[in-house]
Amino acid sequence: MSSAHQHLTHIDEAGAARMVDVSAKDVTTRTARATGRVLVAPRVVELLRGEGVPKGDALGVARVAGIMGAKRTPDLVPLCHPLSISGVTVDLEVADDAVEITATVRTNDRTGVEMEALTAVAVAALTVVDMVKAVDKGAVVTDVRVEEKTGGKSGDWHRP
């Protein structure tokens, strides 16, 4: 990365926050995929797998929350641009000690959707915590991160 990028672009030379002007950037198809995990107690894993009780809507609610969360990104993250999101998927899987979450977001717009994918994961994760908290007060949201992005001038990026 060139030294020209070695500063916080959202902060101007005087230290003031701004929404960076992207009007000169091209409208292209861009995608981002982010992941995260909610660490939960063994009893929660059993309940989410439906052992002994109806599995029910729990993961479905978190999936919807994540999709809707992606759309709320510019309301939540102050310097994010409002974006024309063209597709979102959120996948939740119950592992042995955690719920694993993956979100993929697509756009045709002037800036990337990494923040939208991360927000989808974060909101889905918070929703999982909300639903399990009567059984497990200690659930932890962890490892929320971008895995890859495609499109845009800076090109594709994959987590090393």
Question: Interface with a copy of itself includes 45 (CB under 8 A)?
Answer: no
Contact 79, 108 (CB under 8 A): no
Q: Known catalytic residue: 97? A: no
DSSP lists the bridge partners of residue 28 as 109
Other beta carbons less than 10 A from residue 144's beta carbon: 18
Pairing of strands 28-39, 157-158: unpaired
Question: Interface with a copy of itself includes 72 (CB under 8 A)?
Answer: yes
Q: Is 115 part of any known ligand binding site? A: yes
Q: Rounded to the nearest whole angstrom, what is the least distance from the CB of residue 96 to a copy of itself in the complex?
A: 18
Question: Interface with a copy of itself includes 63 (CB under 8 A)?
Answer: yes
Q: Rounded to the nearest whole angstrom, what is the least distance from the CB of residue 67 to a copy of itself in the complex?
A: 5
Contact 98, 118 (CB under 8 A): no
Of the candidates 45, 101, 139, 152, which one interacts with a copy of itself according to CB under 8 A?
Answer: 139
Question: Interface with a copy of itself includes 49 (CB under 8 A)?
Answer: no
The CA-CA-CA angle for residues 78, 115, 1, to 5°, reads 105
Q: Rounded to the nearest whole angstrom, what is the least distance from the CB of residue 57 to a copy of itself in the complex?
A: 4
DSSP state of 3: G
**Binding site residue list for substrate:** 79-81, 115-116
